[in-house]
């Protein structure tokens, strides 16, 4: 028996805004919760879900964990698309020759786009 990842849970201040960002970024659909939260579901029902839960606690410092995303196509074009959606380039101490690009979502949560 083993455990496997099923969901990425993220505490956010503005659930609606963050649901819109991450749903568009991932191509997921939004399932609003009754408690002010939201679940993001993959379009084919296969893969990790995302749960956005409201919090009043401020984010401080670099995330201790973060998702790494793969891109089917041009990573630079995807960076531009995500920035247009509200992401921003993030500096977490990278040297510039890594095989990934670090971005932060509209609330500052870091994530990476892998260059494959």
Q: What pLDDT shows up at residue 38?
A: 98
Q: Which stretches in the chain have pLDDT values below 50?
A: none
pLDDT of residue 62: 85
Please report which residue ranges of the chain form alpha helices under DSSP H. 15-26, 75-85
Give the integer Cα–Cα distance in Å for 74 and 42.
Answer: 21
- pTM of the entire structure? 0.93
Domains of the chain: 1-56 (3.10.180.10), 65-116 (3.10.180.10)
Radius of gyration of the chain (CA): 14
């Amino acid at each position: 028996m083993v455990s496997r990842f099923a969901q990425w849970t993220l505490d956010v201040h503005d659930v609606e805004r963050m649901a819109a960002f991450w749903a568009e970024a991932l191509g997921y659909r939004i399932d609003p919760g009754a408690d002010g939260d939201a679940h993001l579901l993959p379009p084919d029902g296969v893969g990790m879900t995302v749960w956005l839960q409201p919090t009043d606690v401020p984010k401080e410092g670099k995330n201790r964990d973060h998702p790494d995303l793969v891109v089917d196509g041009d990573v630079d074009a995807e960076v531009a698309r995500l920035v247009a959606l509200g992401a921003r380039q993030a500096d977490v101490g990278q040297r510039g020759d890594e095989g990934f690009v670090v971005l932060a979502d509209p609330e500052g949560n870091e994530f990476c786009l892998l260059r494959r």
